[in-house]
Amino acid sequence: MKYLILSDIHGSLPALEKALAFYREQHCDMLCILGDIHNYGPRNRVPEGMDARGIAERLNAMADEIVAIRGNCDSEVDQMLLAFPMMQDYMLLVDEGKKLLLTHGHVYNEDHLPPGRYDYVFTGHTHLWHLYRADNGTVFCNTGSITFPKQNNVPTMVTYEHGTVVVYDLDGKKLKAIG
């Protein structure tokens, strides 16, 4: 399967629409959302194209292709708009025998993982993308943010397929890969 993994939409419909266009162009099978779907958070500015209902409509139309986890800005009220679950703090996917841990990053992260061994750990939360392989072989990837990248980074998202992780900007330009 080919996964598009992204985080920190923070209510921006234009950013989500660009990511969904990439999802379709890349023929992805599943969208993995690592939290902070609707709410922009008290420390961020109001995002361009803020539209929680529009985001819910776009995502609900493809609910059977989505897995999602809760971010620090997500709440039960947000869940009420969505036709797929998103209130768990982490999720484990197993793809071709590889264990992929999906989490937002505010509860579990590279320095504090749930018990177990993971081949890949995907987080968001910091709005700073990175991708590296640790000494123990685990690949750590922070997907950044499609709406509010920090420290002069561009909006980013990630694909995972057959053991390869690729970071892209929101225009589809490849920034880094680990296979």
Q: 143 lies in which domain range?
A: 3-178
179 residues of the chain, pLDDT tens digit each:
999 999 999 999 999 999 999 999 999 999 999 999 998 777 777 778 889 999 999 999 999 999 999 999 999 999 999 999 999 999 999 999 999 999 999 999 999 999 999 999 999 999 999 999 999 999 999 999 999 999 999 999 999 999 999 999 999 999 999 99
- Per-position b or e across 142-162, b if 16+ CB within 10 A of its CB: bbbbbbbbeeebebbbbbbbe
Q: What is the pLDDT of residue 49?
A: 85
Domains held by the chain: number: 1
Q: CATH number, domain at 65?
A: 3.60.21.10
Q: Cα separation of 131 and 153, whole Å? A: 14
Q: What is the pLDDT of residue 104?
A: 98
Q: What is the pLDDT of residue 43?
A: 73
Q: Which three-class secondary structure state does DSSP give residue 72?
A: coil
Q: What is the pLDDT of residue 27?
A: 98
Q: Cα separation of 50 and 176, whole Å? A: 29
The torsion angle over the Cα atoms of residues 108, 112, 140 and 41, rounded to 10 degrees, is 40
Strands (DSSP E) contained in 25-79 are: 30-33, 66-68
Q: Cα separation of 107 and 49, whole Å? A: 29
